[in-house]
C-alpha cells in the first residue's frame, strides 16, 4: 500500500472521472454554461462536488453554509442531496454570477433550500453569529476571496456544530503554497492559514489533495477538511495522510454520537474523547469534575 499521495497524470485523471463521476445532468449543464465565462476556473471540479455531496450525506447534514457561490455548482451539488427541509446559507457579493446560480437552483427545484445573502461574507457571517446560528451548521464550505479565509474560518468555527465539517477550497493554491519564489499576498494568506490549522487543536483535519486533472488550467481544486471534535483511529498499516482521511471518514459514519464536549483547554474548546463515549454519562465518568460534557 502506498504511503504517499499519487500525482495524477492526465490519463489517470481521465480514468478517475470515467470510473467514478456520477454527475447529475443539471450540474453538467451548469458546468457547460459556466465554461464560457471568463472566470470559469473559479468553479469547483465535479469530483469535488461529488465528494462534498458524499460528506454532507455521511454526516446527515440539514443546515449548511457556503462562502462563495459564483454560478452555484457547489451549492447545487449540496442542495441536491440535502433532505427536503435542508437549508443552505449562501454568501456572495456578485449579483451577476449568482443570477446564474439562482436560475439553476430553480431549474433543479431546490431554490427553497437556499437563502442567498449578497454582502461581504464577513458581515453576513457576523450577522449569523449574532442571530442565533452559532453551533447549528452541520457543514460549511469556504471558497471566496483568499484574504478573508482566516476570518471565515474563525466565523465558521463559531457557526458549525461540534462534529460538523468545515471544508476549505484552494489550500494548495495550484502548488504555489510550496513554491518559495511566490510571495504574493493571497498565497501568503493561504500558507498562514494552513499553518494555523495544522496547529489548531480545536479541529481534526485532513488535507485532501484533490485536483481537477481534466481541465487544462488545473486550477485550485484542493480541499481542506476540518472536522470538529472527532477521534481519528490509528492504523499502523497506512501512512499518516491516508490515516487522517480514513479516520475522519470512519468517525463520520459512526452510527451514534461518539464525542463529548470537554473543556481541558478552557471554555469553547472542543476535544475528542480518547475513546468514543456513547452517552453523556459515560463521558462524564471519564472526565474530571467540572468538565462535564454536553451533547
Ligand atoms: C471561487 S468562486 C466560488 C465558486 C463556487 N463555490 C462554485 O462551486 O462554483 C468565489 C466567489 O466568491 C465571491 N466573493 C468574493 N469576495 C467575496 C466576499 N468578500 N464576500 C462574499 N463573496 C465573495 C465571488 O463573487 C465569487 O462568486
For 14-42, the pLDDT digits (tens) are 998 999 999 999 999 999 999 999 999 99
The set of cell numbers assigned to 212 is 481537477
Per-block mean pLDDT, blocks of 10 residues, the chain (295 long) = 74 92 98 97 94 96 98 98 98 98 98 98 98 97 96 97 94 91 95 96 90 29 51 39 44 37 24 38 47 33
Entry pTM: 0.77
The rounded distance, in Å, linking the Cα atoms of 135 and 30 is 32
pLDDT of residue 269: 22
Cα 167 from Cα 205, distance rounded (Å)? 10
Residue 55 pLDDT = 95
End-to-end CA gap in the chain: 38
Span from the CA of 94 to the centroid of ligand 1 (angstroms): 8
Ligand 1 nearest-atom number relative to CA 71: 9
Q: Report pLDDT for 241.
A: 43
Q: For ligand 1, atom 21, which residue shows the shortest CA distance?
A: 92
- Ligand 1 cavity residues, CB under 6 Å: 42-44, 68-71, 73-74, 91-94, 97, 120-121, 143-145, 148
Distance from the alpha carbon of residue 143 to the mean position of ligand 1, in angstroms: 6
Q: What is the pLDDT of residue 2?
A: 66
Q: Phi/psi at 117 (nearest 5 deg)? A: -115, 115
**Maximum C-alpha span of the chain:** 61
pLDDT, residue 126, reads 98
Provide the H-helix boundaries in the chain. Answer: 10-20, 25-34, 46-58, 73-79, 95-107, 121-130, 149-159, 185-199, 240-253, 280-286
Ligand 1 centroid distance, CA of 101 (Å): 12
Domains of the chain, by residue range, sit at 10-254, 257-295
- CATH code for the domain defined by 10-254: 3.40.50.150
Q: How far apart are CA 80 and CA 104, in angstroms?
A: 11
Report the alpha-carbon distance of residue 212 to residue 53 in Å, rounded: 17
Q: Quick one: pLDDT at residue 262?
A: 29
Query: What is the pLDDT at residue 282?
Result: 56
- pLDDT tens digits, 155-177: 999 999 999 999 999 999 988 99
106: cell is 430553480
Which residue, chain included where needed, has cell 465554461?
Answer: 35
Residue 27: predicted pLDDT: 98
Burial of 274 per CB tally in 10 Å (0-12, 13-18, 19+): exposed
Distance set, CA 229 to CA 78, 138, 164, 267, 291 (Å): 23, 13, 8, 14, 15
Is residue 60 a contact partner of residue 138, using CB atoms and an 8 Å limit?
yes
Residue 68 to residue 70: CA distance in whole angstroms: 6
Residues 240, 148: Cα–Cα separation, whole Å:
30
Question: Which residue's CA lies nearest to atom 11 of ligand 1?
Answer: 68
Amino acid at each position: 500500500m502506498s504511503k504517499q499521495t499519487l500525482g495524477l497524470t492526465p490519463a489517470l485523471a481521465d480514468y478517475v472521472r470515467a470510473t467514478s463521476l456520477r454527475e447529475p445532468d443539471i450540474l453538467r449543464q451548469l458546468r457547460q454554461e459556466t465554461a464560457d465565462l471568463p472566470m470559469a476556473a473559479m468553479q469547483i471540479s465535479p469530483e469535488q462536488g461529488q465528494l462534498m455531496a458524499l460528506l454532507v450525506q455521511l454526516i446527515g447534514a440539514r443546515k449548511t453554509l457556503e462562502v462563495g457561490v459564483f454560478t452555484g455548482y457547489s451549492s447545487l451539488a449540496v442542495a441536491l442531496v440535502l433532505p427536503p427541509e435542508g437549508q443552505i446559507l449562501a454568501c456572495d457579493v456578485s449579483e451577476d454570477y449568482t443570477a446564474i446560480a439562482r436560475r439553476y437552483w430553480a431549474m433543479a427545484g431546490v431554490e427553497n433550500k437556499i437563502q442567498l445573502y449578497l454582502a461581504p461574507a464577513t458581515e453576513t457571517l457576523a450577522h449569523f453569529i449574532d442571530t442565533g446560528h452559532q453551533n447549528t451548521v452541520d457543514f460549511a464550505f469556504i471558497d471566496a476571496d483568499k484574504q478573508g479565509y482566516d476570518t471565515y474560518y474563525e466565523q465558521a468555527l463559531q457557526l458549525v456544530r461540534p462534529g460538523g465539517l468545515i471544508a476549505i477550497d484552494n489550500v494548495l493554491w495550484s502548488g504555489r503554497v510550496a513554491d518559495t519564489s511566490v510571495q504574493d499576498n493571497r498565497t501568503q494568506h493561504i500558507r498562514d492559514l494552513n499553518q494555523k490549522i495544522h496547529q489548531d487543536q480545536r479541529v481534526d483535519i485532513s488535507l485532501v489533495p484533490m485536483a481537477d486533472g481534466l481541465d487544462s488550467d488545473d486550477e485550485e481544486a484542493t480541499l481542506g477538511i476540518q472536522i470538529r471534535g472527532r477521534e481519528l483511529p490509528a492504523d499502523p498499516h497506512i501512512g499518516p495522510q491516508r490515516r487522517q482521511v480514513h479516520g475522519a471518514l470512519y468517525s463520520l459514519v459512526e452510527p451514534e454520537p461518539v464525542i463529548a464536549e470537554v473543556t481541558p483547554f478552557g471554555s469553547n474548546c472542543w476535544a475528542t474523547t480518547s475513546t468514543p463515549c456513547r452517552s453523556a454519562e459515560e463521558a462524564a465518568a471519564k472526565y474530571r469534575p467540572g468538565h462535564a460534557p454536553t451533547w
